[in-house]
Amino acid sequence: MQNTITIAVVVGTTRVRRESIKPARYIADFARNLPGVAVIFVDPMDFNFPGDGNDPEGKDSRYTEIVRKADAFFIVTPEYNHSFPGSLKRMLDSELELYNHKPVAFAGTSSGNWGGVRAVESLLTAVRETGLVAISWDVYFPRVQEIFHADGSVKDEFREHYEHSLSKLFDELLLLARLFKTIR
């Protein structure tokens, strides 16, 4: 459908015991329940990005196709050493010419108190260079291991907060996605 907005929800790490997969899945499920939204769940563990940069031999054609289809992105990044993971940077760098005029939202996660805020702040500079347009809302999952059950479902005491936050964030992301879609 032409009016459907396709959002790529991007998991920000390939770490085996990653807790950030839980909020990424939660965000993707939340978006799937929004009218007129299609979601592509992007797990970097499913792709191969040899080398560095934007050279043809460093691309994965499956990711190229996802970036081409997506009207917007939602990156869920953990915080590693006050920044975002190198695997996320490598993936983002592979498709520079296809990101222009597409909005991006962020969720930060961490096992500590900051919830990934430093990862999101450091990611903003890299994302600007790609041509993605960062929205003004972010969502954070501090002490992520305490927010979700082992099966990945959000605990009841956190549900209202995150549903409210994600509603505001998706309102902004979808507004910009629709606007930019008209000029691409």
Enumerate the domain spans of the chain: 5-183
Which pLDDT belongs to residue 2? Answer: 65
| 122-143 pLDDT tens trace | 999 999 999 999 999 899 999 9
Which pLDDT belongs to residue 106? Answer: 98
| 29-52 pLDDT tens trace | 999 999 999 999 999 999 998 877
| 89-112 pLDDT tens trace | 999 999 988 999 999 999 999 998
Instruction: Give start and end residues of each alpha helix (H) in the chain.
Output: 21-32, 61-69, 86-93, 117-130, 144-147, 156-183
pLDDT exceeds 80 at position 1: no
Which pLDDT belongs to residue 102? Answer: 97
Cβ pair 92, 13 in contact under 8 A: no
What CATH number has the domain spanning 5-183? 3.40.50.360
pTM (two decimals): 0.95
The SS3 assignment for 99 reads: coil
